[in-house]
Amino acid sequence: MAQELDLNGHRYSIGKLSAKQQFHVSRRIAPIVPTLIPVFVRLAAGGRGITEDPGGMADVLQPLADGLAAMKDE
């Protein structure tokens, strides 16, 4: 049974996904996984907390943002 909630005027449903739905979600996010590797490497190499360097955080997350922007809306 799904739980529904309203957030900023949008209604969301939260619940378990079937195996088929899980497969479709994983297939959709697969193209952005390679963009996460440089993010993790740079965060680990920095040695500082995420909130300690907001400007650096923007640089680190740019590849992820580019990967998300390149995804199709289908």
Q: Which residues have CB under 8 Å from 45's CB, separation 6+? A: none
Whole-number pLDDT of residue 36: 81
Whole-number pLDDT of residue 9: 93
Question: pLDDT tens-digit profile of 24-73?
Answer: 889 888 888 887 887 778 777 777 666 676 777 777 778 778 878 887 77
Within a 10 A sphere around the Cβ of 66, how many other Cβ atoms? 11
pLDDT band of residue 8 (cuts 50, 70, 90) is: very high
pTM score: 0.51
Sketch the domain layout of the chain as residue ranges: 3-69
CA 36 to CA 38: how far, in whole Å?
A: 6
Q: Which residue has the tokens 């952005």?
A: 32
Q: How far is CA 17 from the centre of its chain?
A: 18
